[in-house]
Amino acid sequence: GDSVTQMEGPVTLSEEAFLTINCTYTATGYPSLFWYVQYPGEGLQLLLKATKADDKGSNKGFEATYRKETTSFHLEKGSVQVSDSAVYFCALSDSGYALNFGKGTSLLVTP
Amino acid sequence: GAGVSQTPSNKVTEKGKYVELRCDPISGHTALYWYRQSLGQGPEFLIYFQGTGAADDSGLPNDRFFAVRPEGSVSTLKIQRTERGDSAVYLCASSFGSQNTGELFFGEGSRLTVL
């Protein structure tokens, strides 16, 4: 079945460092891909998404490109801030509601 | 508040007991979802409502789990004869309309501990 694999954390970075969180997927069809983020004490929220190959999702300085040839959707940010400390989940969906999530990657950004 | 509200935030129960978890979605959202998140795992899909009906309940693990949404707003997830393996955070989410874009608005979850 469809699945998502993302790099294990925790990831610890200094403020203004470059961030990459790797995500690869397996799917029988052509799913939509998502990054969700969970800030401390809050519910999961959609960070960005891409619905077809070569699409780039972006939001709050984060970007991810849907790469069909490498079945990847890596999350990147050029300069992280302390406020980016959170748990990041990669997910895919064929239906738009039954999301398949990865295990999550915890990010801690230190001043 | 304007977000998805879940109660209780924490529930501790004994093996074999019955549990109900409540979800109050964002006003106007017709779609409602339940997910379960076990320790160290990502959320796992359980059930999806469109209005009052369960459009997809394929993620419910067995017949001890049941969910209702009688008036198309608040939903209750019901777990009978709880087992220790049911311990997890149960997440509720809602979204606009019937267009499944993948943008779900999640609550903070109900943490269930079965002793």
Lookup: tokens for B32: 């409602």
Tell me which residue in B4, B59, B103 faces A98 most closely, judged by beta carbons: B59
Specify the pLDDT at position A94: 86
For chain B, what is the mean pLDDT? 94
Q: What number is the average pLDDT over the span A15-30?
A: 94
A64 and A74 Cβ atoms separated by less than 8 Å: yes
Q: What number is the average pLDDT over the span A52-74?
A: 96
Whole-number Å distance between alpha carbons of B99 and B47 = 16
- Compute the nearest-CA separation of A74 from chain B (Å): 17
Q: What number is the average pLDDT over the span B37-57?
A: 93
User: Which residues of chain B make contact with A44, given a CB cutoff of 8 A?
Assistant: 43, 91, 93, 104, 106
Using CA atoms, how far residue A65 sits from A16, A48, A70, B27, B99, in Å, is 22, 10, 11, 33, 23
Specify the pLDDT at position A111: 95
- What single-letter amino acid sits at B71? E
Per-residue pLDDT at B1 exceeds 70? no
Per-residue pLDDT at A88 exceeds 80? yes
Q: Indicate which of A44, A46, A55, A88 best probes the interface with B, i.e. most B CBs within 10 Å of its own CB.
A: A44
Lookup: tokens for B85: 């393996």
At B86-110, the pLDDT tens digits run 999 999 999 987 667 778 999 999 9
- Compute the nearest-CA separation of B41 from chain A (Å): 4
Whole-number Å distance between alpha carbons of B106 and A80 = 24
- Extended strands (E) in chain A: 3-6, 11-14, 19-21, 23-26, 32-38, 45-50, 56-59, 62-65, 75-77, 86-93, 100-101, 105-110
Tell me which residue in B40, B42, B48 faces A101 most closely, judged by beta carbons: B42
Specify the pLDDT at position B99: 66
Q: What number is the average pLDDT over the span A59-64?
A: 97
Helix (H, G, I), strand (E, B) or coil at B40: coil
Q: What number is the average pLDDT over the span A33-53?
A: 94
Cross-chain residue pair A43–B106, CB shorter than 8 Å: yes
